[in-house]
Amino acid sequence: MTVGCSHPENLNSAEYCQGCGQFLLLQNRYLAIKPLSRGGFGRTFLAIDQQIPSHPHCVIKQFFVQYENPQDYQTAAKLFRQEAVRLDQLGKHPQIPQLLAHFEQNKQLFIIQEYIQGKTLFDELKQDGLFTEQKIWQVLKQILPILQFIHEQNIIHRDIKPANLMRRCSLPSSGENSLDTVVDLTQIPPTIPMRDQEQAQISAKLKSTIYPILSPENSDLQTSTDFNKNDIVLIDFGISKLLTGTALLHSGTIVGTPEFMAPEQMRGTVYPASDLYSLGLTCLYLITGISPGKLYDDHDEKWNWRSYLIPQQIISDRLETVLNKLIVIAINQRYKSAEEVLTAIQSSETPVNIAVKPVIPIKKTSAKVVQTPAKTPNLLERIKQNLGYQPLNDPLKSAVGVDYTQLQTLLAQKRWKQADQETWFVLCQALKKSKKTYLYAQDLANLPCEDLQTINHLWVKYSNSRFGFSIQNQIYQTVEGDYGKFCQQVGWLTYNPNNPDYGIEYKTSAPTGHLPTRNWIVSTGKWWKNLEILAEKLASCKIN
């Protein structure tokens, strides 16, 4: 391939590009074998280093520089050289690709970088499905120290996102590497992406030879000392970031990916906390599979990512707190440094005695069974397969057009507090009142039966018959309308506390009939009247 040519593919035997006549090797050394990406300000190629006998892989990054006069080019080249020095420093970190060379050739700027064998977290999401809480902690604990390291050197990455994070999946060098042979791209069927072939070969090798001893449970047996095999690496540092605002990039070029960008960065100012914001959104993307733009509710002006979690995805309050503080819009309320986040994570961890697992010697088998996962066409299907996702089949009927899907999701996720609030909102809607207005007990008599049926069904179903209006009503009947006894059974206070949440347990283990709270129902005079009114309503709607 000729880097920089519009018809770049050539036969292996060619010394000069058939498209433009350029010499095919960069610096008489680096041979591009496959384009990896093309962005607004450059291109990335997979390449091999011809001067090293084992022909190792490397990555070529070519930067497009727009210049009208030689002076502009000189400025760009100077900045480029300065930036290379900084990249060289950064590459000393084991989770940042090393800078192998930088040079200018034919008035074009290039850097050569260490090749990271592995896949991006974006690819991992597509292939393996949504990230679990455990995987997110791993991402945070691996990426935050890298951010700490670069921020200490006054470098802000500006483009943290799943496609710029790669998980290493590396083989120890064995002397022979079947991937080192120069690939004639003209011979590769265009439908088979190179990376898949590589992955297949790598996993075949891993599985048949060393994978058992490199698997995380046996990590003590790792031979390599400079990095862990499954480390996450931060890629895509570059000159592009330095050149922003110098008019040397193509006009209209935005550095960074708007969806993951902090609001202040969108307005043109960056802080270390801007990278933290993008890291927070990266995590949210990995646990929801929903692009960050959709996770913000413009009406309420707040993040509503929790409502996009599928029911099987359990995220602890501890992780929620960390993620929410990473994505605060106001910089002064966001975490200020990577170090601060790491400290918060560590202090929130309750020390547990982790039993040391004995290392069980791996029995080597001669059978080379390579299990390649069946290809599924889209992310959703993959997620469903991985998580045993079952669509929630509930009849969400409403006589007045109320949408009950949010209530359904919240209850399926056992987010009782939010579900309690949502119950209030849907009751308001079903009674054609505006959101968050208190309801009078007498209003309940006007509820359409279909709507009451739906709300009650969802509560009863997802609480395994612990909560719901009909469950409360059954208790009310057994105590023969005695409000004091009723409260005792369901765990409610018999007086109105100042804080309506006082004494409420939003937990599955709360007493039967404890939820919904009905805190949003007001009654004039006898304030327990709502139980009686609802009892009559349930009977007339034939809901038991």
Ligand X SMILES: Nc1ncnc2c1ncn2[C@@H]1O[C@H](COP(=O)(O)OP(=O)(O)O)[C@@H](O)[C@H]1O
Indicate the residue among 119 and 514 with the shorter CB distance to Mg ion. 119
244 lies in the binding site for ligand X (CB under 6 A): no
Residue 25 partner contact from Mg ion, ligand X, none using kind-dependent CB cut-offs of 5 to 8 Å: none
163 lies in the binding site for ligand X (CB under 6 A): yes
164 lies in the binding site for ligand X (CB under 6 A): yes
Phi, psi of 268 (to 5 degrees): 105, 5
User: What is the enclosing helix (H) or strand (E) of 536?
Assistant: helix 529-540
113 lies in the binding site for ligand X (CB under 6 A): yes
**Using CB under 5 A, which residues numbered 218 to 247 contact Mg ion?**
236
Residue 530 partner contact from Mg ion, ligand X, none using kind-dependent CB cut-offs of 5 to 8 Å: none
Neighbours of 530 (CB within 10 A): 20
Question: What's the number of CA atoms in the CB half-sphere (13 Å) around residue 208?
Answer: 11
120, 164, 240, 409: which one contacts Mg ion (CB under 5 A)?
A: 164
Residue 113 partner contact from ligand X, Mg ion, none using kind-dependent CB cut-offs of 5 to 8 Å: ligand X
Task: Please give the torsion angle defined by the CA atoms of residues 318, 339, 293 and 119, in that order, rounded to the nearest 10 degrees.
Answer: -100
Neighbours of 497 (CB within 10 A): 11
Residue 97 partner contact from ligand X, Mg ion, none using kind-dependent CB cut-offs of 5 to 8 Å: ligand X
Length of the chain equals: 544
Residue 142 partner contact from Mg ion, ligand X, none using kind-dependent CB cut-offs of 5 to 8 Å: none
Residue 59 partner contact from ligand X, Mg ion, none using kind-dependent CB cut-offs of 5 to 8 Å: ligand X
Task: Tell me the closest approach of the beta carbon of residue 390 to ligand X, in angstroms.
Answer: 34
Q: Could you report how far apart the first and last alpha carbons of the chain are, in Å?
A: 73
Task: Tell me the closest approach of the beta carbon of residue 197 to ligand X, in angstroms.
Answer: 15
152 is written with which tokens?
């200490």
Task: Tell me the closest approach of the beta carbon of residue 187 to Mg ion, in angstroms.
Answer: 28
Neighbours of 322 (CB within 10 A): 20
Task: Tell me the closest approach of the beta carbon of residue 46 to ligand X, in angstroms.
Answer: 7
87, 96, 112, 116: which one contacts ligand X (CB under 6 A)?
A: 116
Indicate the residue among 37 and 508 with the shorter CB distance to ligand X. 37
68 is written with which tokens?
């009208």
62, 120, 313, 409: which one contacts ligand X (CB under 6 A)?
A: 120
63, 115, 335, 492: which one contacts ligand X (CB under 6 A)?
A: 115
* Cα separation values, 59 from 16, 39, 101, 107, 432, Å: 21, 15, 10, 19, 61
Piece in contact with ligand X (CB under 6 A), picked from 18-26, 115-123, 215-223, 281-289 = 115-123
Distance CA 349, CA 346 (A): 5
CB 255 within 8 A of CB 42: no
Neighbours of 131 (CB within 10 A): 23
Distance CA 281, CA 259 (A): 9
**Using CB under 6 A, which residues numbered 207 to 236 contact ligand X?**
235-236
Task: Tell me the closest approach of the beta carbon of residue 178 to ligand X, in angstroms.
Answer: 18
Residue 44 partner contact from Mg ion, ligand X, none using kind-dependent CB cut-offs of 5 to 8 Å: ligand X
**Annotation says 226 is catalytic:** no
Q: Give the three-class secondary structure for 63.
A: strand
Spell out the residues 6+ positions from residue 67 whose beta carbon is closer than 8 angstroms to its own: 73, 76, 248
CB 44 within 8 A of CB 60: yes
Piece in contact with ligand X (CB under 6 A), picked from 113-121, 222-230, 283-291, 354-362 = 113-121
332 is written with which tokens?
């002064």
Piece in contact with Mg ion (CB under 5 A), picked from 141-149, 160-168, 382-390, 501-509 = 160-168
* Cα separation values, 316 from 349, 392, 420, 501, Å: 12, 22, 19, 21
Please report, as a single letter, which amino acid is at residue 135: K
* Cα separation values, 327 from 156, 285, 443, Å: 17, 12, 40
Piece in contact with ligand X (CB under 6 A), picked from 13-21, 37-45, 283-291, 424-432 = 37-45
3, 59, 431, 447: which one contacts ligand X (CB under 6 A)?
A: 59
37, 54, 304, 390: which one contacts ligand X (CB under 6 A)?
A: 37
Indicate the residue among 116 and 428 with the shorter CB distance to ligand X. 116
Distance CA 381, CA 129 (A): 9
Task: Tell me the closest approach of the beta carbon of residue 285 to Mg ion, in angstroms.
Answer: 15
Phi, psi of 249 (to 5 degrees): -90, 160
Indicate the residue among 162 and 468 with the shorter CB distance to Mg ion. 162
Indicate the residue among 59 and 214 with the shorter CB distance to ligand X. 59
Residue 115 partner contact from Mg ion, ligand X, none using kind-dependent CB cut-offs of 5 to 8 Å: ligand X
Distance CA 283, CA 244 (A): 27
Q: What is the DSSP string of 16-40?
A: B-TTT--BSSBTTTEEEEEEEEEET
Task: Tell me the closest approach of the beta carbon of residue 52 to ligand X, in angstroms.
Answer: 16
456 lies in the binding site for Mg ion (CB under 5 A): no
Exposed/middle/buried for residue 167 (C-beta within 10 Å: 0-12, 13-18, 19+): buried
Q: What is the DSSP string of 385-403?
A: HHHT----------SS---
Which of 72, 128, 159, 297 is an active site residue?
A: 159
162 lies in the binding site for ligand X (CB under 6 A): no
Distance CA 62, CA 296 (A): 36
**Using CB under 6 A, which residues numbered 93 to 112 contact ligand X?**
97
Indicate the residue among 236 and 420 with the shorter CB distance to Mg ion. 236
Task: Tell me the closest approach of the beta carbon of residue 54 to ligand X, in angstroms.
Answer: 17
**Using CB under 6 A, which residues numbered 421 to 480 contact ligand X?**
none
Indicate the residue among 100 and 471 with the shorter CB distance to ligand X. 100
Site of interaction with ligand X (CB under 6 A): 36-37, 39, 44, 59, 97, 113-116, 120, 163-164, 235-236
Active site residues: 159
Site of interaction with Mg ion (CB under 5 A): 164, 236
